[in-house]
Structure 1
Amino acid sequence: MIKYPILKNDATIGVTAPSSGVPAELHHLLEGAKEQMEKKGYSLEVGETAWTQSKSKSASAKKRAAELMHMMTNNEIDAVIPPWGGELLVEILDYIDFDQLKPKWILGYSDTSLLLMAITLKTGIATAHGTNLVDLRGEYSDKTTAKWEDVLSTSKRESIVQYSSEKYQKEWDFENPTPQIFDLTETTEWKAIGGKSVSGRLLGGCVDTVRHLIGTPFGEVKSFQKEYLNEEPILWYFENCDLATPDLRRSLVQMKLAGWFDHCSGIMFGRSAANTPVDGYTAEDIYEELAEELQIPIIYDIDCGHVPPQVTLVNGAFAEVEVNDGKGVVTQYFN
């Protein structure tokens, strides 16, 4: 059975950087997020790693792992939200004692998604793929981003409904910041191949990073399905940060060959600025190929990943997803 944490109104949130920390010139972003979260009634315990960054990481692998373990085992900390993702979270996996982790939410995306998936696969503890902490520094959040609190406050055996955004951000405009952080200018349109509805147990993350779990003790999907899901099918979700289309295709084929898609009900893909065609080969070509090869629905351009805003997707939760006329509805059941 999946173990679902629950977020209290006055929760203490641990802020640690298991991947990248915030360099000195950007400390104002972290300070702004801390201020806004405290206005909401949360207390924040900000670790040392959140404030440091050098050579593509916040600190050594052992220090990052130790600070994470402290926050995941300390009864005074209710949830963990890293400032953002990064590049080298994979280095800390060997130093995490998964058996000691307490059921508490970890929220984030990008490189953080590798940690989220590893924890859920190894322990059956639900983890939340959604906003980063620094993106909560605005005076308010857009409706899609703001749902992270409702999702993480959902009780076991209850459900939570989220809707696709009305508009998304095409690119950052740092010269003209908005009160909600994101500059939402483009009309959102969820698309589907091979079926407009799908259900299954959610699992996924950033393809760039989670692919490196394949073949390791931290990426045993079949064992997870058997031990924690009673062999229920997985509804995968992925987003692409930097991969060219051939590399994205190679990564997905590797997942298929590793058996990740053996008992899979569908795959969802987030919008991506990286999906530039190579030699005429498009992301849509990849989605068509997957739908044909696996005989499953493919839903794409969903609110997930590096092109904000994004819905909050819970690894391990049972989800029903419907797409009609470019709009999407995601219902998650915490059972």
Structure 2
Amino acid sequence: MINYPFLEKGATVGVTAPSSGVPSELHDVLKTACNRMEEKGYKVIIRETTWKQDKAKSAHAKERADEFNRMMLDENIHIIIPPWGGELLIETLEYIDFNNLQNKWVLGYSDISMLLLSITLKTGLATAHGTNLVDLREEYSDETTAMWESVLSTKKGESIIQHSSKKYQKEWQHDKPTPCVFHLTEQTNWKSALNNLVKIQGYLLGGCIDVIRHLVGTPYGDVQNFKENYIKGQPIIWFLENCELSTTDLRRSLVQMKLAGWFENCSGIMFGRSPANTPVNNYTVEDVYKELSEEIQIPIIYDIDCGHVPPQITFINGAYAEIQLENGRGTVIQHFR
């Protein structure tokens, strides 16, 4: 059985940096994001690692993990939202106290998705793949991003529906700040490797493939154990996004996941829009999707609202989902059961 946390109004947000912290020149950005959260009625507690960044990490791995563990045990903190992702979260996993995780949300993406997926696979505690804290710093959020509160305030036994965005952001324009942090200029169009109409159901698992692929073969990536002990053999839908991989590196990663059994009893795979997917010798990402779909005989949906090309739908690791793609528009219904 999956355990679903619940976000209450006036909750206290714990901010810690299990991957990268915020360098001094960007402290004002972090402070602005925290102020916005307080304006929305939340209380905010920021711990030490958040303010530090050196050698591609906020602190030594054990210090990062210990701070996260203390936040998880702190009854006065109700949800944990790191400032953003980073590079070396994997160093912390051996120090995370998975046996004493409390029933509270952890929200984030990018390198944080490695922690999210590990928690859900090892414990059956649902985790939230969506916006990070610094992207909540402006006056308001777009409709897609803003759904994070509604999704995390869904009670066990209830359902929540989200729709694909109307437009997405092609590139950052930090020199042109607006009341909404994202500059949404491009028409969103979800696609499929084979069909225009796709309907799939299953339990959601996923994250940034650049990092979660490194869980294969470790105690933190035991998908089979999760299937047997938490969802009783029900099908899985994978949501994946590529931050920096070329098409051949993406292909290698997907084949490794397939050989490790991650795609057994999988009803479908969804891929987010990507700033990468660099073709190699005329080998395109569409080729990757088509080959994988044919090999494992499941639908593949791509260019969805997930990952490093915002905005993002809030996907819950461990939720049972019904996904529909029709004429470029996507619908995601998540059941907290």
Give the shorter-chain TM-score range.
Answer: over 0.9
Rounded to whole Å, the distance in 2 between the matches of 1:332 and 1:83 is 25
Rounded to whole Å, the distance in 2 between the matches of 1:283 and 1:47 is 40
Give CA deviations for 1:239-261 in whole Å, capped at 9, x if unaligned.
00000110000000000000000
Aligned residue number for residue 285 of structure 1: 287
Rounded to whole Å, the distance in 2 between the matches of 1:94 and 1:223 is 18
Rounded to whole Å, the distance in 1 between the matches of 2:284 and 2:199 is 24
Aligned residue number for residue 257 of structure 2: 255
Q: How many residues align?
A: 335
Calculate the TM-score normalised by the size of structure 1.
0.99
Rounded to whole Å, the distance in 2 between the matches of 1:294 and 1:121 is 22
Q: Residue type of the partner of 1:318?
A: Y
Give CA deviations for 1:39-67 in whole Å, capped at 9, x if unaligned.
00000110100110000000000100000
Give CA deviations for 1:276-329 in whole Å, capped at 9, x if unaligned.
211111111000001100000000000000000000000000000111111100
**Structure 2: runs of 5+ lacking an equivalent:** none
Q: Residue type of the partner of 2:14?
A: G
Give CA deviations for 1:56-86 in whole Å, capped at 9, x if unaligned.
0000001000000011111110000000000
Q: Residue type of the partner of 1:262?
A: E
Q: Residue type of the partner of 1:264?
A: C
Report the 3-state secondary structure (helix = DSSP H, G, I; strand = E; otherwise coil) of the residue aligned with 1:309. Answer: coil
Calculate the TM-score normalised by the size of structure 2.
0.99
Q: Say whether 1:43 aligns with 2:43.
A: yes
The aligned runs of 1:112-127 (5 Å cut-off) are 112-127=112-127
Rounded to whole Å, the distance in 2 between the matches of 1:156 and 1:193 is 34
Rounded to whole Å, the distance in 2 between the matches of 1:105 and 1:332 is 16
Q: Say whether 1:308 aligns with 2:303.
A: no
Rounded to whole Å, the distance in 2 between the matches of 1:168 and 1:282 is 22
Give CA deviations for 1:152-210 in whole Å, capped at 9, x if unaligned.
00000000000000000000011101111000000000001345111110000000000
**Is contact 2:193-2:286 (8 Å) kept?**
no
Aligned residue number for residue 333 of structure 1: 335
**Structure 1: runs of 5+ lacking an equivalent:** none
Rounded to whole Å, the distance in 1 between the matches of 2:114 and 2:194 is 28
RMSD: 0.6
Aligned residue number for residue 273 of structure 2: 271
Deviation at 1:28, TM superposition (A): 1.1
Q: Residue type of the partner of 1:247?
A: D
**Is contact 1:194-1:296 (8 Å) kept?**
no
Rounded to whole Å, the distance in 2 between the matches of 1:147 and 1:298 is 24
**Is contact 2:13-2:45 (8 Å) kept?**
yes
**Is contact 2:272-2:303 (8 Å) kept?**
yes
Rounded to whole Å, the distance in 2 between the matches of 1:275 and 1:194 is 19
Report the 3-state secondary structure (helix = DSSP H, G, I; strand = E; otherwise coil) of the residue aligned with 1:147. Answer: helix
Q: Residue type of the partner of 2:95?
A: Y
Aligned residue number for residue 197 of structure 1: 199
The aligned runs of 1:73-222 (5 Å cut-off) are 73-195=73-195, 196-222=198-224
